[in-house]
Structure 1
Amino acid sequence: MSGNNYTVTCNHCKTVNTVRGKAMTLAMTCSGCGYYFRLGSWNDAASVSFITKEEPAIPVGAKGRFDGVIYEVMGFVVKQETKYHYSWREYLLFNPYEGYAFLSEYNGHWNFIWPIEENPRPIGGLRDYEVDYDELQYRIFQKYNATVQYARGEFFFDVVDMTDATFNREYIAPPFLLAVEESSDSVLWCKGEYCTRKEIAAAFNIPVSKLPGKKGRGYTQPMSTSFKDESLITLSLFLLIVVALAQIILSHSLEETVVFNGDFDQKAMNDQKMLVSNSFDVNGSMGNLQFELYAPLTNDWFYADFSLISETTGVEYNFSKDIEYYSGIEDGESWSEGSTKGTALISQIPGGRYHVNIYPEFSTSYQTFSMKVTRNVSMFFNFWITILLLMIFPIYYFIRKRMVEVNRWSESDYSPYYSE
């Protein structure tokens, strides 16, 4: 190798390369032949000729803005994990005042990564499983060794030898990650944060279509929600309490009143095959009416159509009811099914004077029944329907979140959702 602080001549093809990183650059690839070599210790044994070639989605030399800081892409590498042989891409970024950082891309998912000075604190003394940093708990996602499959550009360290010599661990607390590279003589901790393809494209002012398409879920990709789990739980509990209090207040404010109670017999049926109740008054502007029927049946049935008729307006409210009750003894054990009672509820009945026309069908065994009509009965059915509707979204959200997490951890050997 020959040259000065700003240029270096490749000993392999004699191309003169401009060194953009100047004294900070310790290794680079030749712009002519693509050979990787270390500056200051050039020899053929130290150079690497990569068999595979890959074009970076973000060109070396491009500049992008992250959190108001402009970084330049100094180098690009393709790394491969040694056990499962999956590959990902890393971009070395540099700013003269902020130092260096990295962009990591795997299956179209991006993480912006920067070195940190503090070492995260192991939780429970087990650094291999969980660590604490900035009041967040990170769980181990993967441990691996890797090799460099391809490199282009300049590096402030021997990226090939360093990658071969380091053991890596990555911990996640989406959208954040912690990564540690550990060798026999050094330990480097970094923190990362998930970036969308749109954010990367905007940072470098390039079309989104130029970036690799997303596949699956990124291991630090957050769920796309505008709220936190704690906020959803707090809001849901608040709404449940409000609905419960409203039900209690409504139940206490309504006064249940029996407005009719009478017995009926088939013998009283007129020529129109109907029974007519006595008239009764319903108080209040608007409320419900509950009809309770009782037929003294044994192994028999009773059916009737009912018409509640307003004597003031002539409006009719119709319903029907079927009552069956059967019982017996079989194999020495008694059994029964059905009931001798039935209930019907009509909502939104205005106050006024009413009577009921009844069109019954009797069996040959029983010809009597009774009916009680009650005004302003507490309607817990609506209460439980409201509770169910309020719970649909939280239940859906947490089921979906679990499915997302199961999918996220499917590529990890340390998934909390799968036992060995």
Structure 2
Amino acid sequence: MEARLACPACQEQLTYYDVVNSTHFACPACHVLFSQPAQGPALKVRQFQDVPRLPPCLPLGSLGTMPDGLPYRVTGYMLRKEKSSPARWQEFMLFNPTAGYAQLALYEGHWTFIKPAAELRSKQQEPQSKTRTQRYVLDNDIAYALYNKYQPRILYARGEFDWNILDDERLNVFEYVAPPHMLVQETGMGQQPQWYRAEHIEPAAVARAFGVAISQLPDRDTVGAIQPAPGGDSWPAVRRFTLLLLGLLVLTEIVLASLRPSRQLLSQHFVSGASQALPSFRPDSTEKVLVSSPFEITEPSTVLDINLRAEIDNSWLELPVSLVNEQTGQGFEFTKNMEYYHGVESGESWSEGSVQADATLTKIPAGRYHLNLYPVSENNRPVGFSLTVTENSWQPGNFFLFGLALLVYPGLLYWRRYNHEQARWAQSNYGPLT
């Protein structure tokens, strides 16, 4: 149902839809806000000076279905600002003959659907304060953090309203957020606080609801007060699933370690150039070989960790090593260099190098083995060194590699969510209390 009336200032014919309740009207032609009493002539209330350059992106009279599933008609439009800051936003009044009024707020490209919270209107059912400082309110076990408080100013309006919108300039407004939801409290004018529930809406959903091209809607800027963080509702599931996989990875390592326990096969001390050294079997070498005690590998394919520690001080030791299978003659070779230097220069101590080195040999067949060692030291001086061989010692490399791979996606998502929250609260004078 719709009706028409004439603007008292310019006689422009205005269409309005809430014939029973609308009392104040704003003319889009001459920008006058006026009231229309049930009896008597219309009364001019204010002449708006801050007229937007562009018309509202949702035309008056357009219909759209909101998240509550109900069709609403755009009946009014306001351009508002905060009294103590330059922040401006737009509000579209929505009317459904059965459900009544709702609002659709637009700030820097972010849309919020707002409805009266009738169940919170009574004092007994107001959200409870979680702290004495009123920085949180608790509703249905959800903590809403104070994000903003302000007094509104009406810069411009057009369409119809069921109250004098200028009365809102005497209100104090508190916004509490728990993205993607918000609780809004209005206090002032000696009345009981009024509560509203709000929820975030994506611009694409607004465009579909009102049948407009998304290019007609303003682009988003920064992060909205209740804009969902990246990952949205899926983040708790991603976090739980990642923790589950990490737990399974740890459990797998424990099981594998119990099935193939670590065992030390050899621990021996040597001195390079000592009398126990035998002539080298290398035909082109004058070095002497040191031969370790034999040891047995029982696993069909095992991993050996070989740890070396040299007794060097401001010197070096080069140590070629050959693991020899005494039954087959098969050899596995590697070379390690150890050097350690230190001193004092300009009153500052310094050191470089290390007296230790490690080597890992994989897929070693079962059998009886010994090590051939060909040490070369500085100036061929005798150097003592110790050597241990451990079978199936824990190899952290694969464990940490798989763990890192599991954390890549949730880590990136966490980083994006963290930066999203930082950007959200950078626009607020209030941060979440810790």
Match of 1:203 in 2: 209
1:168 aligned onto 2:173: yes
**Alpha-carbon separation, structure 2, partners of 1:15 and 1:410:** 45
CA deviations 1:214-261 (Å, max 9, x no partner) are 111111111121545544443344333323322222222214445556
Match of 2:159 in 1: 153
Match of 2:123 in 1: none
Comparing 399-408 with 74-83, greater Cα deviation is found at 399-408
Match of 1:402 in 2: 418
1:33-52 → structure 2 map (5 Å cutoff): 33-40=30-37, 42=41, 45-52=44-51
Pick aligned residue for 1:140 from 137, 146, 171: 146
1:59 aligned onto 2:56: no
Residues 314 and 224 from structure 1, CA distance in 2 versus in 1: closer, same or farther, beyond 3 angstroms?
farther
**Alpha-carbon separation, structure 2, partners of 1:102 and 1:403:** 30
Residues 182 and 127 from structure 1, CA distance in 2 versus in 1: closer, same or farther, beyond 3 angstroms?
farther
1:324-335 → structure 2 map (5 Å cutoff): 324-325=339-340
- Give SS of 1:24's match: coil
CA deviations 1:307-353 (Å, max 9, x no partner) are 44668898765432122356789999999876654322223434456
Match of 2:84 in 1: 83
| 8 Å contact from structure 2 (residues 272, 376) kept in 1 | no
1:346 aligned onto 2:352: no
| 8 Å contact from structure 1 (residues 38, 47) kept in 2 | no
**Alpha-carbon separation, structure 2, partners of 1:61 and 1:127:** 43
Offset of 1:381 from its aligned partner?
4.5
Match of 2:18 in 1: 21
| 8 Å contact from structure 2 (residues 299, 366) kept in 1 | yes
- Give SS of 1:97's match: coil
| 8 Å contact from structure 1 (residues 297, 366) kept in 2 | no
Q: Alpha carbon RMSD of aligned pairs, Å?
A: 3.5
CA deviations 1:55-106 (Å, max 9, x no partner) are 1111111111123211111111100111112210000011112211110000
- Give SS of 2:300's match: strand
Pick aligned residue for 1:12 from 9, 13, 26: 9
Residues 131 and 332 from structure 1, CA distance in 2 versus in 1: closer, same or farther, beyond 3 angstroms?
closer
Comparing 309-318 with 25-34, greater Cα deviation is found at 309-318
Query: Where does structure 1 lack aligned partners over 5 or more consecutive residues?
Result: none
Match of 1:301 in 2: 316
Letter in 2 for 1:215: D
CA deviations 1:143-174 (Å, max 9, x no partner) are 11121111111112222x22222221111111
Residues 81 and 249 from structure 1, CA distance in 2 versus in 1: closer, same or farther, beyond 3 angstroms?
same
1:375 aligned onto 2:368: no
| 8 Å contact from structure 2 (residues 60, 75) kept in 1 | yes
Match of 2:219 in 1: 213
| 8 Å contact from structure 1 (residues 265, 368) kept in 2 | yes
Offset of 1:394 from its aligned partner?
4.7
Comparing 175-184 with 342-351, greater Cα deviation is found at 342-351
Residues 171 and 58 from structure 1, CA distance in 2 versus in 1: closer, same or farther, beyond 3 angstroms?
same
TM-score by length of 1: 0.85
Offset of 1:32 from its aligned partner?
4.4
- Give SS of 1:249's match: helix
| 8 Å contact from structure 1 (residues 300, 365) kept in 2 | no
| 8 Å contact from structure 2 (residues 36, 43) kept in 1 | no
Match of 2:73 in 1: 72
Pick aligned residue for 1:192 from 180, 193, 198: 198
Residues 69 and 311 from structure 1, CA distance in 2 versus in 1: closer, same or farther, beyond 3 angstroms?
farther
| 8 Å contact from structure 2 (residues 80, 88) kept in 1 | yes
**Alpha-carbon separation, structure 1, partners of 2:141 and 2:298:** 62
Identity within the alignment, %? 29
- Give SS of 2:59's match: coil
Residues 306 and 167 from structure 1, CA distance in 2 versus in 1: closer, same or farther, beyond 3 angstroms?
same
TM-score by length of 2: 0.82
Comparing 372-381 with 149-158, greater Cα deviation is found at 372-381
| 8 Å contact from structure 1 (residues 166, 183) kept in 2 | yes
**Alpha-carbon separation, structure 2, partners of 1:334 and 1:127:** 55
| 8 Å contact from structure 2 (residues 311, 383) kept in 1 | no
Match of 2:303 in 1: 288
Residues 212 and 332 from structure 1, CA distance in 2 versus in 1: closer, same or farther, beyond 3 angstroms?
closer
Query: Where does structure 2 lack aligned partners over 5 or more consecutive residues?
Result: 121-125
**Alpha-carbon separation, structure 2, partners of 1:73 and 1:313:** 90
Match of 1:323 in 2: 338
- Give SS of 2:255's match: helix
**Alpha-carbon separation, structure 1, partners of 2:10 and 2:267:** 108
